Amino acid sequence: MVRLTVAKRTVLGAMTVALTVLCVYAAAVLPTMRAVAYFISSLFVYVLVCEKAYGAAVLSYIASAVLSFVLIPDKIAILPYVLLLGHFGIFKVFIDRKITDKFVGFVFKLIYCNVFTLIALLLIMYVFNISDFVISVEIPLWVIITAAQVIFVVFNYVYTLCQQFYDTRLRSVIVSQR
C-alpha cells in the first residue's frame, strides 16, 4: 500500500466532502430515494479510510457535517448522516481491521448502530422537540426493534459489498499508484 501524499489526501478529502454534501442534500430535498441517498453519502468516507488516512476521514466527516448544516435548510434531514451514517464507515473499517473474529466484530457494529440510533431518536424527540416523531402505539416496540436490527444487518452487508467493489474496481483508478 502506497502512502498518500498530503496533496492526494487533500484532494480526496475535498472530493469526499463535496460528494457527501451533494448526497445529503439530495436526501433532504428529494421526495423519493432518501434512504439510497443517505446510504451513498455514508460510502465516500471509505475512500480515505481504505488508505488508512483516518485523520483525513474524520476531518472529511466533520467538514461534510458542518457544510451540510450551513447549506441545507432542513436541519432535521441532516441528522441521519451526522448522527450515524457519516461516521459508521470509519468505525466499521476500524473494527474489521482490529477484531479478527467476524461474529464479535459484527456484534460490536450492531451495538454501535443501536446506540447511535437511540441517541438520534432522543435528540429528535427531546432536543429538537419534535413530538410528531413519537412512535405510533399501533406498532409494537418489538416489531420496530426487530425491523431496525434487520435494517442494520442489510446496511452492513451492502456497505461491505460496496467496499469490495471499491477495492477491486475503483481504487486503482481513483488512487493511482504513481
pLDDT in tens, 90-100: 999 999 999 99
Domain residue limits, the chain: 6-174
SS3 content of the chain, % helix, strand, coil (to 5): 80, 0, 20
1 pLDDT band (50/70/90 cuts)?
low
Q: Cell 460510502, residue?
A: 43
By C-alpha distance, which of 100, 67, 95 is closest to 163?
Answer: 95
| pLDDT for the residue numbered 142 | 78
Choose from 63-72, 110-119, 127-136 the range with maximum mean pLDDT: 63-72
* CATH level 3 topology of 6-174: Arp2/3 complex 21 kDa subunit ARPC3 (1.10.1760)
What DSSP assignment string belongs to 63-92?
Answer: HHHHHHHHH-S-SGGGHHIIIIIHHHHHHH
Query: Minimum mean pLDDT among 79-83, 98-102, 137-141: which range?
Result: 137-141
Q: Residue 15 contacts by C-beta under 8 Å, 6 or more apart in sequence?
A: 44, 47
The verdict on pTM exceeding 0.75 is yes
pLDDT at 143: 83
Average pLDDT, the chain: 88
14-61 pLDDT, tens digit each = 999 999 999 999 999 998 899 999 999 999 999 999 988 999 999 999
